[in-house]
Amino acid sequence: MFEDLYNSSITSNTIFKVNVALRESNPDAYTPKMVSIGPYHKKNDQLRSMEKSKLLYLRRFLKRKEGLDMHSCMNELQKLEKEALNCYDDIEDLNIGSDEFCRMLLLDGCFVVEFIRERCEIGPRREDEIIKTNIGCIYNQILRDLMLLENQLPFFVLNKLHDMTTQDDELPLAIQAVISFPFFVDLENMIEQHIYEPLIKIATNAGNIKHLLHAVHILSCHGNPTKRSNDDTTCHMFMPNATELSEAGVRFATDRKSNGNKNNNSDMTSLFDIKFEDGLMTIPCFQVVDGTEAFLRNLIAYEQQSSEVQPKYFSDFAFFMDHLIDSDKDVNLLRRKGIIKHWMGEDKDVSSLFNKIGNGVTVYSTFYYDKECLRASQHCKKKRNRMKANLLRNYCSSPCVGASTAAAIILLLLTTIQTILAFTGSVR
């Protein structure tokens, strides 16, 4: 136990085993289903079938450059071995030898690089694909597995392999990587908004990328300003849910234009751009599908276990949604307002997702939505807002109800006037 007491040092790990507090509510969300990348799940027998495909990808990789062979690749990776080992948490417990570790880097690294190239249509035609894109089940599960925190390789290893076989007109691997996962980062919408800056920034700062999951995290969070609350408060802990907010008169919308501010021409392009102003809660529309939970959980796990990531956008978003959604009624409300779009069966499945996803998540004093939660809570505490909401809900909930209410008020006024006139006439 104490043999390495004086040789031990603190290393800056970037690829972690997900801690128990996060894992226990849904272990499957952190476990690969189709392909093992890196050392953590290397000995999982259920993933053995993909090893043959990895060999085919390795063969295609070696054919990209004349004279390239296994020996020369292994020599290059051995130079990176120590740095790569330091990226992993508790790797000494896995009992992986030096040669085995380098062979793993080569086999898994070539698979990832070639798979990304295949996604970007660099190289083989559709009929020559090793893993056919038209087999959606397998292909989508591989995409999912490549976004798992425990299923990563250091990006400098991937970049080295890519540079060894790059073509003259080929995009940098960093850009290829992020455009390979448009479903997760909503890249199509970002390009429509002419946000090219993050792609350029990622390409020029590839040395700062830790792994594929980190690259997607960078693109997803680009352009969001760092906000710090000046209030020493924990009001975000007690923000009412969506139904309670609605009952207190809070309106929900998917963009800022709904608040009538015609001078504000900016559109929401970020998942995290949530605002609360003058009784209006604006939340960007987002989709919830089968892969959403695993993707969010792994980004949250990376944020929670990395001291370098600030603000922790995905963690704070999950915490905010956990408090906004308590039941299927809240999901139903947000879905009717166009904020949530889901293909998960029933609203209760979405509410269960967000009720569990915050388990084990630590929220810091830099909580991104502190001001929004505080304003929403203060709005609900004002009696006039609740009374106004009750009146609108009970007497103006629909055009028919509103017309009936107006007719009743008019009738009451006419009856009152008639009574007053009759009374004054009899007095005379």
The DSSP string of 82-126 is: HHHHTTBSSGGGG---HHHHHHHHHHHHHHHHHHHHHHTT-SS-G
Q: Tens digit of pLDDT for each residue in 194-223?
A: 455 666 676 667 778 999 999 888 888 876
Q: What pLDDT is stored for residue 410 in this prediction?
A: 76
Q: How far apart are CA 65 and CA 60, in angstroms?
A: 10
Q: Higher pLDDT residue, 81 or 234?
A: 81
Q: What pLDDT is stored for residue 24 in this prediction?
A: 93
Residue 262 pLDDT class (50, 70, 90 cuts)? very low
Helix (H) or strand (E) holding 252: strand 251-253
Residue 190 pLDDT class (50, 70, 90 cuts)? very low
Average pLDDT, whole number, for the chain? 82
- Which residues are CB-neighbours of 259 under 8 A, at least 6 positions away? 253, 277, 278, 280, 282
Task: Compute CA distances 421 → 63, 259, 389, whole Å.
Answer: 101, 45, 35
Q: What pLDDT is stored for residue 404 in this prediction?
A: 65
Residue pair 209/215 in contact by the 8 Å Cβ criterion = yes
Residue pair 56/130 in contact by the 8 Å Cβ criterion = yes
Q: For the CA atoms of the chain, what is the radius of gyration? A: 28
What stretches of 325-427 show up as alpha helix (H) in DSSP?
Answer: 328-336, 347-357, 370-381, 383-395, 399-427
Residue 162 in tokens: 């890519």
Q: How far apart are CA 23 and CA 413, in angstroms?
A: 64
pLDDT tops 90 at residue 355: yes
C-beta neighbour count of 388 within 10 angstroms: 14
Q: Higher pLDDT residue, 58 or 203?
A: 58
The letter for the amino acid at 274 is I
Q: What pLDDT is stored for residue 8 in this prediction?
A: 59
Q: What pLDDT is stored for residue 291 in this prediction?
A: 85
Among 17-21, 267-271, 330-334, where is mean pLDDT lowest? 267-271
In the chain, % of residues over pLDDT 90: 48
Pairing of strands 280-282, 275-277: antiparallel
Residue 73 pLDDT class (50, 70, 90 cuts)? very high
Q: How far apart are CA 314 and CA 303, in angstroms?
A: 8
Count of CA atoms in the C-beta half-sphere (13 A) of 68: 19
Q: How far apart are CA 346 and CA 333, in angstroms?
A: 13
Residue pair 97/161 in contact by the 8 Å Cβ criterion = no
Residue 187 pLDDT class (50, 70, 90 cuts)? very low
Q: How far apart are CA 16 and CA 82, in angstroms?
A: 17
Residue pair 242/333 in contact by the 8 Å Cβ criterion = yes
pLDDT tops 90 at residue 162: yes
- Report, as an integer, the average pLDDT of 228-237: 49
In the chain, % of residues over pLDDT 70: 75
pLDDT tops 80 at residue 346: yes
Phi, psi angles (nearest 5°) of residue 281: -100, 115
pLDDT tops 70 at residue 366: yes
**Can the peptide bond before residue 311 be classed as cis, meaning omega within 30 degrees of 0?**
yes
DSSP class of residue 340?
Answer: E
Residue 63 in tokens: 């054919």
Q: Higher pLDDT residue, 371 or 92?
A: 371
The torsion of the CA quartet 221, 225, 230, 236, rounded to 10 degrees, works out to -40
Residue pair 2/117 in contact by the 8 Å Cβ criterion = no
Q: Tens digit of pLDDT for each residue in 132-157?
A: 766 668 888 999 999 999 999 999 99
Task: Compute CA distances 6 → 1, 2, 92, 95, whole Å.
Answer: 12, 9, 16, 21
E-strand ranges in 61-206 read none
Q: Higher pLDDT residue, 91 or 420?
A: 91
Q: Tens digit of pLDDT for each residue in 277-288?
A: 989 999 988 888
Q: What pLDDT is stored for residue 428 in this prediction?
A: 55
pLDDT tops 60 at residue 259: no
Q: Higher pLDDT residue, 28 or 125?
A: 28
- Report, as an integer, the average pLDDT of 32-46: 95
The letter for the amino acid at 388 is K
Domain definitions of the chain by residue range: 20-221, 235-288+302-384, 396-427
Q: What pLDDT is stored for residue 10 in this prediction?
A: 60
Helix (H) or strand (E) holding 346: none
Q: What pLDDT is stored for residue 186 in this prediction?
A: 52
Q: What pLDDT is stored for residue 261 in this prediction?
A: 44
Query: What's the distance, CA 106 to chain centroid?
Result: 29
- Which residues are CB-neighbours of 264 under 8 A, at least 6 positions away? 256, 257
Q: What is the pTM of this model?
A: 0.82
Sign of CA dihedral 67, 68, 69, 75: positive
Residue 228 in tokens: 């710090």
